[in-house]
Amino acid sequence: MPSFPFSPIDKLIINADRALRTLAAGSQMTCERHSPARHLQEVDLSEAERKKSAALMRVNHTGEVCAQALYQGQSLAARLPDVRAEMEKAAKEEIDHLVWCQERIDSLGSHTSYLNPLWYGLSFAIGASAGLVSDKVSLGFVAATEDQVCKHLQDHLQELPQGDVKSRAVVEQMLEDEARHATMALDAGGYNFPTPVKLLMTLVSKVMTTASYRV
């Protein structure tokens, strides 16, 4: 940690750097944990299976791009004095997820979503706005988002080809991590959003996942 506070210009540069590294083709981020897929043998997939896996992992990658933006926006605006260390740990785990998804998409011979800059900007704005309202709302938004992500990951475990053990291993570890992030945010005092807000979030995430699946 620096021994001096960052100026607004410093923060702007740090966030711009983080956004560019998140969105760059071939992730420029460094992960702390190796991919769970690392020691698993690649199984021959049919062309249809490969395309299906790539599309699902592209959706997951977009989710991780949004997580980066959400945590970045939140770190700028929210105070979170009691849980800052835990939030930073969660944000680092999101970098692991981002890199693992990127690696898997590369192995499957596909590309990340072309719409990621759009989702990054939107998620950053939401994260910062929630943080400006209050820490309780900010943490509540993290919890609700992580819940959404867990649902997608559970669906993906049903949809991924059984033979694609590498993608499945990545998704299983992500599911475990995201569930922990949701619990942490709620335990830290996050607001449990009412059902209409959660339904709206489900709708927005449906648009995002459908678009990322295709492009």
Per CB under 5 A, does 103 bind Fe ion?
no
Of 96 and 164, CB closest to Fe ion: 96
Q: Which of 45, 76, 94, 100 binds Fe ion (CB under 5 A)?
A: 94
Q: What single letter denotes the amino acid at residue 122? A: L
Q: Which of 130, 178, 185, 190 binds Fe ion (CB under 5 A)?
A: 178
Distance in Å, CB of 90 to Fe ion, minimum: 6
- Write a three-state SS string for the chain: CCCCCCCHHHHHHHHHHHHHHHHCCCCCCCCCCCCCCCCCCCCCCCHHHHHHHHHHHHHHHHHHHHHHHHHHHHHHHCCCCCCHHHHHHHHHHHHHHHHHHHHHHHHCCCCCCCCHHHHHHHHHHHHHHHHHHCHHHHHHHHHHHHHHHHHHHHHHHHHCCCCCHHHHHHHHHHHHHHHHHHHHHHHCCCCCCCHHHHHHHHHHHHHHHHHHHHC
Distance in Å, CB of 94 to Fe ion, minimum: 4
Query: Judged by CB under 5 A, which stretch of 23-31, 128-136, 141-149, 195-203 contacts Fe ion?
Result: 141-149
Of 45 and 99, CB closest to Fe ion: 99
Distance between CA 192 and CA 201 in Å, rounded? 13
Of 45 and 80, CB closest to Fe ion: 80
**Residues 28-67 contacting Fe ion, CB under 5 A:** 64, 67
Q: Which of 52, 61, 152, 181 binds Fe ion (CB under 5 A)?
A: 181
Distance in Å, CB of 149 to Fe ion, minimum: 6
Distance in Å, CB of 38 to Fe ion, minimum: 18
Counting residues that bind Fe ion (by CB under 5 A) gives: 7
Of 45 and 153, CB closest to Fe ion: 153
Of 93 and 164, CB closest to Fe ion: 93
Q: Which of 52, 58, 61, 97 binds Fe ion (CB under 5 A)?
A: 97
Q: What single letter denotes the amino acid at residue 140? A: G
For 181, other C-beta atoms within 10 Å of its C-beta total: 25
Q: Which residue has the tokens 């607004």?
A: 8
Give the interface with Fe ion as residue ranges (CB under 5 A). Answer: 64, 67, 94, 97, 146, 178, 181
